[in-house]
Amino acid sequence: MTYRIAIGCDDAGLDYKERLAADLRADPRVSEVIDLGVHRDAADVHRPYPEIGLAAGEAVRAGTADRAVLVCGTGIGMALSANKVPGVRATTAHDSYSVERSVLSNNCQVLTVGQRVVGLELARRLVREWLGYEFDHRSPSAAKVELIAEYERC
């Protein structure tokens, strides 16, 4: 399976976003990288993180992206923003086990990292690992994820 990945950041995550986007473009599991901004030396460089997080969530919800990677100072603001989009599950992760469980237990489609929290090489590793996990809709976790989906439909 290959993924269409939306990627975005605010000004606090720009350096990592650029490196992660390059990694994603070189990864055979990725068929397309959709850069939602911000961009260095562009008018959008100071766009607030909620705009980017919401845009990534909307891309996942609309099906134009299968997953998204978002970067801000901590990863928290981006996760909060993307999670406001119904049907989207976003998480901040700073370790391999959390990345694994975010997909296998929670079917998260959006991974966020904090440029001010984790080193670049760790962020790159976490994104590579995250791409390797697929949610099993027959797993015991599927019923729990469905409870969240049911609540959103109310």
Enzyme catalytic residues: 72
Are the C-beta atoms of 113 and 8 separated by less than 8 Å?
no
CA separation for the pair 89, 141 (Å, rounded)? 14
Chain-centre distance for alpha carbon 65:
10
CA separation for the pair 125, 3 (Å, rounded)? 17
Query: No. of H helices and E strands in the chain?
Result: 6, 5
User: Which secondary structure element, helix H or strand E, spans residue 33, and what is its range?
Assistant: strand 30-35
